[in-house]
Structure 1
Amino acid sequence: MVKRAIIAGTGALPALLLAGSPAHVVSFDDVPPDLPGMARLIPARFEKLGKLFYDLSVAGVREVAFAGAMSRPVLDPGQFDAATAALVPRLTAAMAQGDDALLRDVMALFEERGFAILGAHQIRPDLVAEAGALCGPAPNAVDVARARAVLDALGPLDVGQAAIAAQGQVIGIETLQGTDALLQYVAATAPASGGVLVKRPKPGQDLRVDMPAIGPRTVHLAAEAGLSAIEIAAGAVLLLDRAAVLEACAETGLALWAAA
């Protein structure tokens, strides 16, 4: 019996977790995952969490993993089941505190019902990198230090997981819009001649959910923004298709390093 379920959002990660590791797939109505022909589908609605917990238990699921992008839903109170209606005050309070607080509370709801939460890196350890060079020379140490300092300072405010520095100046910070939007903004407003994108989890972030990630598109957008390197946190940033990421680095000449 399959004992694991993937709470699937959009993007490449759900398919990567399913590769070679059978699991049920929870697909919410408003967030169709890019998994054509998938088996063991458990349909779900955000307004009916009680039914989802029941369906998971009936399917014999004991472990769940959150994978892929998922925006905050617009809820229809008329569709709430009894379990979800009882949770509304708790979830409303969590939403008011930011994404990290909301994710922690959602994970707690699953754990309170006996489900173990797995991180993507626990299912696919090959999706994270050990410290060292993945491609190219070491990034500029001054720019790395500057970007890291900004992330350390903003982490408690639940702002973002990436910053860009060039020639010692911060030229972009990730916010709710994400890393792609950050890189496109820099390309349009302050294209750098060199510079480093630093991507790291927020201090104290639970890496079982919403672990930072980069993919080949990240590399190409970084190159378009004029950057020379990307530094990621070793063991704490997902490479969404390592081979494709390294191929993109080779094509663009962008360096990629993992650091503690």
Structure 2
Amino acid sequence: MTRIAVIAGKGHLAPAIARALTDPAVYALDGFAPEGLDHKTFRLERLLPFIDDLIDQGITQVIFAGAIRRPRLDPEAFDPRTAQMVPRILMAMQSGDDAALRTVLDIFEENDLSICSVQEICPDMVPDAGILAGTPSAADKRDVQRAAQILAGTGGLDIGQGAVVAQGLCLALETLPGTEAMLHFAALHADMRPNPDGAKGVLYKAPKPGQDRRIDLPTIGPDTVDQAARAGLAGIAWEAGGTILLDRAETMRRAEAAGLFLWAVDAEA
């Protein structure tokens, strides 16, 4: 049986993936260790020796799971082989998160390691189209459509994967601080909705257009529901087949308790 390496980042995704695998080899980039998950660390400055170690263990597949920010690089920590890649790595990091991640994937693949997606390992974590809780109103559906249009327009700028829209107006966009910060910002500006008695607003998440879907898919879970409820939103929607849903049963339970809808939207509909 092929052993899979999990490159774990922060958050709940990496532990969920590790639990779904038999005897995974779990690693984390130094400084971005996942909580509650046994792992070994590695440094980007020694990327090629790390890849050699994976291959020596008979590992042929790798899955990336969890949040990782761009690390600070120590010029003195590079081994000679990885040092030859410094211009390539730095150029990618300056081009944005997508370019940086794509370059890292390329390096793994160039060394005969294939990249698995979450959908391959845990297909139930990437829901197909359908309503999982509550019922979005006609106004909510219009806000979801508007949010999808906004993310389609901003995706090429490599900004984020989420937007909050209420009554056709964008209250917040996800940027580097993440979803929780976006929803907190939306809560602070909820009074900017034109009609106080109108649609409360929605959170919508989707991959960036053209994104490599084997890595860095948007993620929703129980904490997202709590944050959306505090922001006073009507519900959460996301692109079906392109968004990870953590702990589906608990997420649905919290949504129903808070009176929020959960909707995996068919992007082609």
Instruction: Please give the TM-score of this superposition, normalised by the length of structure 1.
Output: 0.94
Q: What residue identity is the alignment partner of 2:190?
A: A
1:211 has 2:209 as partner: no
CA contact (8 A) 1:2 1:24 kept: no
Mapped pair 1:194 → 2:200: yes
Superposed CA deviations along residues 148-192 of structure 1, whole A, max 9, x for unmatched, are 111111111111111111111111111111111100111123356
Distance 1:63 1:228, change over 3 A: same
Tell me the residue number matched to 1:244. 250
* Alignment correspondent of 2:196: none
Identity %: 44
* Amino acid across the alignment from 2:35: D
In structure 1, what is the equivalent of residue 132 of structure 2? Answer: 134
Point out where structure 1 has 5 or more consecutive residues left out of the alignment.
none
> What SS does the aligned partner of 2:20 have?
coil
**1:57-94 deviation per Cα after TM superposition (whole angstroms, max 9, x unaligned):** 11111000001111111111111111221111001111
TM superposition shift of 1:2: 4.8
Tell me how far 1:118 sits from its aligned partner: 0.5
* Matched-pair contact (CA < 8 Å) for 2:236–2:260: yes
Q: 2:104 matched to which residue of 1?
A: 106
Structure 1 residue 33 corresponds to structure 2 residue 34 = yes
Cα offset, 1:130, TM superposition: 1.3
Aligned match of 2:57: 59
Q: In the alignment, which residue of structure 1 is the partner of 2:43? A: 45
Cα drift, residue 43 of structure 1? 3.1
Aligned-pair Cα RMSD in Å: 1.4
Q: CA deviation at 1:239?
A: 0.6
Matched AA of 1:92:
L
Distance 1:150 1:81 in 2: 43
The count of aligned residue pairs is: 257
* 1:170 alignment counterpart: 170
* Gapped regions of structure 2 (runs ≥ 5): 194-198
Report the equivalent of 1:180: 180
Are residues 1:145 and 2:151 paired?
Answer: no
Gap change, CA 1:93 and 1:177, over 3 Å in 2: same
Letter in 1 for 2:33: P
Q: Does 1:93 align with 2:91?
A: yes
The alpha-carbon deviation at position 110 of structure 1 amounts to 0.2
1:220 partner amino acid: D
Q: Report how far residue 242 of structure 1 moved.
A: 0.9
Alpha-carbon distance between aligned partners in 2 of 1:177 and 1:203, rounded to the nearest angstrom:
21
* CA distance in 1: counterparts of 2:2 and 2:9, whole angstroms: 20
Counterpart secondary structure, 1:34: coil
Q: Is the 8 A contact 2:70 2:93 kept in 1?
A: no
- AA partner of residue 5 (structure 1): A
Whether the 8 Å CA contact 2:20–2:122 is kept in 1: the answer is: no
Counterparts of 1:190 and 1:84 in 2: how far apart (Å)?
A: 48
Task: Report the alpha carbon displacement of residue 35 of structure 1 after superposing the two structures with TM.
Answer: 3.4
Partners of 2:29 and 2:201 in 1: CA distance? 39
Alpha-carbon distance between aligned partners in 2 of 1:98 and 1:20, rounded to the nearest angstrom: 31
Verify the 8 A CA contact 1:42 1:55 in the aligned structure 2.
Answer: no
> CA-to-partner distance for each residue in 1:46-66, whole Å, 9 max, x for gaps?
211121011101111100000
How many Å separate the matches in 2 of 1:137 and 1:250? 10
Q: Aligned residue for 1:155?
A: 155
TM-score (norm 2): 0.91
Runs of 4+ in structure 1 deviating by more than 6 angstroms, as ranges, are none
Aligned to 1:83: 81
